[in-house]
Amino acid sequence: MLRAIAVVLTSAALVAAPVSAVAEDGPELIPGGGFEGTTQPWFVTQDMSAANTDGQLCVDVPGGTTTAWSSIIGVDGVPIVKGQDYDFSFTAAAVSPTPVVIRALVQQPVSPWDATFEANPSLGGDETEFSYTFNASLDLPAAQVVFQVGGADEPWSLCIDDVSIHTGDPAEAFVPETGTRVRVNQVGYLLTGPKHATLMTDAADALDWTLRNEAGDSVATGQTEPRGDDSSAGGGVHVIDFSEVREVGDGFTIDADGQASHPFAIGDDLYDRLRYDSLQYFHLVRSGIEIDVPGYEREAGHLNVAPNQGDTAVGCQSPQPFMQNWTCDYELDVRGGWYDAGDHGKYVVNGGIAVYQLMSAYERTLTASSTTAGAFDDGTLDIPESSNGVPDLLDEARWELEWMLRMQVPAGEELAGMVHHKVQDDSWTGLPLLPADDPKARQLHRPSTAATLNLAAVAAQGSRLFAPFDAEFADDLLAASRTAWDAANTTPRLFAPAADGVNGGGPYDDDDVADEFYCAAAELYLTTGEPAFESAVLDHPLHTADIYRIAGFDWGHVAALARMDLATVPSELPDRDEVVASVIELADKYADAQQTQNFGQPYAPISGYGWGSNSSILNNMVVLATAYDLGGDARFSTAVVEGMDYILGRNAMNNSYVTGYGTTYSHNQHSRWFAHQLDADLPSPPPGTLAGGPNRSIQDPLAQQTFTTGCADQLCYLDDIQSWSTNEMTVNWNSSLVWVASFVADQTELEAVASVKPAPNDQLPLVLVGGGLVLVALIVVMVLRGRGKKSD
């Protein structure tokens, strides 16, 4: 998931933009692609026989294979020059009961089979010509052109002809189809909340707008507010404000500048379902358990059932120079946990922040006043553990926590108490591939200080939350947390190298773990109240530092998590009032950033939209929501609610980035098993799945080939399964959605200021404002220490 991999991965392929006219074709580079009386020099895998039929290469493709690359047609010796533009075309026809999707690649002829081009054409019974243009990202003196045709349940037949590659003109600039220029939250607007839409137009003057109900009747009218050019959106924008509307209903639309928006609702219960759909996602990405949810059924993955080599007895990565040739001689049972993203890897640092955010969403129901009682109680989800007397959210979190415990180095071994950074395949697999069909060897990667501190933090957090429900498990978590804390302090600079992302999984490299130490110390203090951990918090440089990042917190920057928990979880921290003030100050900066944006997002990165920009936006909203819980300032709650507008359709793409929500939404996120785009027998991602979102770095080949002339930040997005840098799904992106969706579901009266619980012996701190002393509102002070004292 959230990893900036510089290499081109076999699993990350591309579809080129349509071919432009070529003034003069270069020489033909494909040998024998016309199949004039022979199939030579083309080859096929041993499960097929190539026949020349009427000047075509035809094969009978066997059924019952598990992967696309089980059956291959190909040719070697195609010279490809990095940076050169090429035209690639072929004709194909299938004899099959249903359309068949194949993979057409230009790739390395040897492992790791890196591809400089991939297309995924869907074949029917009629002979069809497919044409593409691509710019080579690799130098391949003797590239291999292959058609991967395996993976079908039933046998079928294929004929190809006129396979051609030659140099050509660059692809035309890609222009996304974004539909209506009136951009709205396609789910809807809370009755008492902010209501804004954005009109994409270069008009200099204000324009008329009309809000219509489902019957088409006018409900409200007004004029747009011109905002000028928005460089992130690639054009001029106007903002429409209809916040005063208080009519409940579905099917509202806004007309402006000759355009009508997608329909949306107005009401006070629009986010209840999203709270649970986004959380249910985690059950569907579990490893090591059969999934029997209708529509998403699959066998348990990585339990040593062939072809799996499994996670129940995984050895360590073979010695690698970038790991100082580290390895180990033991095996660990690391079954369970969540698959991190679109691959089958499981990463502690990413799983750590994801499980933290789920547990934080639950803990908020215990500490904040504007929450829905019992929102995550037992029976609120469809998971096997429902009806066991434990809140379902904690049951889901436990699945990941137990896996993280298994990743800890056993006593008596070198680096005992440290935590392995990740477990993954020994090399990349392609798409689609169900977890149970993954044939690759699994391997543990070297422990890291970052992973160790992640376990220390979330195990301590989990210990206090599980204590009322399972004291034994809570004790196990705390013991593991203490062990990890001690191990990290003994080995404080063991980092995961960036080079450990070439094969099979992302590196998640992080060579600054000061924030992880701070976060672990905070969670251990909040759970135990012990002086040693209190000192570790108070003495840490980050405790009083400015931790503002416009890109938000993430798996590699977790100081804000510590600061927010120190502010919200009851404790006797001596400077808790200053901590609360710092969180509110942090939220002020995000609210200020939001005011500069035309689509409601609290996100304005100078360097442009980055990997997982949607998660960055949501995490900034977490800070805003936390500040609202602390002080009741309605500015923060309305900022969170308006931030959801961007996520759910009020953006330059006119796209809801949450599957199943809105009129036009992402549904082809990068995944090996939610892969309906490539295999009609597999499902699309489930409702409530968040897409990573626009990413101007466009690291994947598909995005690179599509955006050959660049893209405005918000338009650097493709809803395609192969665009892993803009459209991946990940556990830590969905965890941010769970947290925010739950907060927004709780906001039914946005004008009201949250009430707080008073406590005795509070004193009013003085804050210097504009050269004069003013009292901080009593409501803030009550929150500082007024939620009860921690018992020893």
> Which residues are catalytically annotated?
343, 670, 719, 728
Burial of 522 (0-12, 13-18, 19+ CB in 10 A): buried
Closest among 565, 578, 180 to 364, alpha carbons compared:
565
CA separation for the pair 641, 745 (Å, rounded): 10
The DSSP code sequence of 388-404 is SSS-HHHHHHHHHHHHH
The β-bridge partners of 648 are 656
Place of tokens 């007397």: 389
Helix count and strand count (H, E) for the chain: 14, 29
Let me know: does 210 contact 218? Beta carbons within 8 Å. yes
The β-bridge partners of 135 are 85
Let me know: does 516 contact 553? Beta carbons within 8 Å. no
Cβ-based neighbours of 514, under 8 Å, separated by 6 or more? 540, 541, 542, 559
List C-alpha distances in Å: 237 to 178, 183, 207.
15, 10, 11
* DSSP 8-state symbol, 554: B
List C-alpha distances in Å: 542 to 517, 518, 536, 558, 727.
10, 7, 11, 11, 33
Count of all residues that appear for the chain in the document: 792
Let me know: does 643 contact 594? Beta carbons within 8 Å. yes
Let me know: does 504 contact 345? Beta carbons within 8 Å. yes
What does the block give as tokens for 209? 């707008």
Rounded to 5 degrees, what are φ and ψ at 267? -175, -170
Rounded to 5 degrees, what are φ and ψ at 615? -70, -40
Rg (CA), the chain: 27
CA separation for the pair 438, 673 (Å, rounded): 11
Let me know: does 68 contact 148? Beta carbons within 8 Å. yes
Cα torsion for 282, 288, 291, 297, to the nearest 10°?
Answer: 110
Closest among 31, 294, 271, 307 to 166, alpha carbons compared:
31
CA separation for the pair 458, 670 (Å, rounded): 28
CA separation for the pair 704, 591 (Å, rounded): 33
Let me know: does 713 contact 726? Beta carbons within 8 Å. no
Closest among 78, 100, 76 to 165, alpha carbons compared:
78
Nearest-5° angle of CA 436, CA 438, CA 442?
A: 110
List C-alpha distances in Å: 405 to 484, 513, 531, 737.
10, 20, 26, 25
Give per-residue burial for 716-749: e unless 16+ CB within 10 Å, then b: bbbbbbbbbbbbbbbbbbbbbbbbbbbbbbbbee
- How many CB atoms are closer than 10 A to CB 202? 11
Give per-residue burial for 10-39: e unless 16+ CB within 10 Å, then b: bbbbbbbbebeeeeeeeeebbeebbbeeeb
CA 695 to chain centre: 12
